[in-house]
Amino acid sequence: MNDFFALLTGRRSWTALIAAVPVMLLTSCSGVDEPAASPIPSPGPPAAVSEPDGPTSSPAAESDSPPVLPVFSVASIDGEDLRLEDVLGTAPVYVLFIPGADGELDRAQVGQIQGRYPEFEALGAHIFLIASDLPTEVVKMRDEFGLEFPLIADPLRVIAADWHVFDLFGEGRSGPASFVFGAHGSLIARLIAAEPGDRPSVDEVLGVIEESLSAGGV
């Protein structure tokens, strides 16, 4: 595996998970046009980071058990029903969280992904982007960048809370986070940001997917 899987200086985690990670079937919010009033989840501590079963260059302690990740069944900003459980195990999947649709770092990251989107398509990979912002703001971002992959507005931070990426920096929004699943449905890499600019490059994400496919899908 490439260096993308090793813990990098200043990063909480971006590591390969050799053991298959269980995925819990858990339905999150389903409507985004006019979200029903519901309490915003109380900020909690960020999820603990697990380490690979095999040796890595990281000095961090290895977790005894892998995390249990939820899936989601939601409507995209285009009204498309998205069920992550229907896609996992059929193709590589990149689940990406950004704090909002107007942040400079968020917009730069999204623009870079769109610029390389044909490469994700060539690998048969799906991208799901979740933004802790209003649907109208996410639509503006989609139109400005011509985004071709599904976008999910999470103004109540329900999905972000389920995935333990809510309020990482005390701002009441989701923190930047990336989760990559192999074609067989196991979590193969992730990065939960330790600071706002802590995000994997597109080359790193594509490299993870390519390596998992060459190894048999994982």
Mean pLDDT along residues 50-79: 56
**Residue 26 in this model has a pLDDT that exceeds 50:** no
Q: Is residue 54, in this structure, part of any structural domain at all?
A: no
Burial degree of 117 (CB within 10 A; 0-12, 13-18, 19+) = middle
Q: What is the residue range of 145's domain?
A: 3-31+62-214
Q: Is residue 178, in this structure, part of any structural domain at all?
A: yes
Q: According to the model, what pLDDT value does residue 207 have?
A: 97
Confidence of residue 15 (pLDDT cuts 50, 70, 90): low
Which structure tokens are listed for 79?
Answer: 């009204």
User: Distance (Å, rounded) from C-alpha 186 to C-alpha 89?
Assistant: 8
Q: Is residue 42, in this structure, part of any structural domain at all?
A: no
Confidence of residue 201 (pLDDT cuts 50, 70, 90): very high
Q: Is residue 141, in this structure, part of any structural domain at all?
A: yes
Q: Strands, E, within the chain: which ranges?
A: 14-16, 23-24, 69-70, 73-75, 81-83, 93-98, 126-131, 151-153, 177-181, 187-192
Q: Is residue 164, in this structure, part of any structural domain at all?
A: yes
Q: According to the model, what pLDDT value does residue 168 have?
A: 86
Q: Is residue 40, in this structure, part of any structural domain at all?
A: no
Provide the domain count of the chain: 1
Q: Domain with 24 in it: what CATH number? A: 3.40.30.10
Reported as half-sphere exposure (CB side, CA atoms, 13 A), residue 173 has a value of 20
Are 183 and 217 a contacting pair, CB within 8 Å? yes
Q: What are the percentages of helix, strand and coil residues in the chain, rounded to 5? A: 25, 20, 55
Q: Is residue 127, in this structure, part of any structural domain at all?
A: yes
Mean pLDDT along residues 143-164: 95
Pick 39 or 102 by higher pLDDT. Answer: 102
Predicted model pTM: 0.72
Q: Which of 71, 68, 67 is nearest to 25 (CA)?
A: 71
Which structure tokens are listed for 115?
Answer: 């610029």
Count Cβ neighbours within 10 Å for each residue of 46-68 and write b for 16 or more, e otherwise: bbebbbbeeebebeeeeeeebbe
Q: How far is CA 194 from CA 198, 199, 218, in A?
A: 6, 9, 27
User: Distance (Å, rounded) from C-alpha 24 to C-alpha 30?
Assistant: 17
Q: Is residue 177, in this structure, part of any structural domain at all?
A: yes
pLDDT in tens, 100-136: 999 999 999 999 999 999 999 999 999 999 999 999 9
